[in-house]
Amino acid sequence: MNPILQLSPPLILASQSPRRRALLDRLEVPFRVQVSPADETLAGTSAPPAAVQTLARRKAK
């Protein structure tokens, strides 16, 4: 395995997306799935980078 892929702590996929899971499997990236119950609704119109950061923070809690 590529030493770059030996992540510590391991990558957590906070998504139920079968495509994302398949992509990580295909790339042989070690990961575990931990789906978050976070609300993914965004109020107003956020710029995409801000929206991604907001959702990531919610899912991480």
Model confidence at 3: pLDDT above 80: no
Domain boundaries, the chain: 3-60
Q: Band of the pLDDT at 5, cuts 50, 70, 90?
A: low
pLDDT of residue 36: 86
Q: What is the full DSSP assignment across 1-61?
A: --GGG--SSPEEE----HHHHHHHHHTT--EEE----------S---HHHHHHHHHHHHH-
Radius of gyration of the chain (CA): 14
pLDDT of residue 4: 60
Tens-digit pLDDT profile for residues 7-61: 577 788 888 899 999 999 998 888 999 888 888 888 877 799 998 898 888 888 8
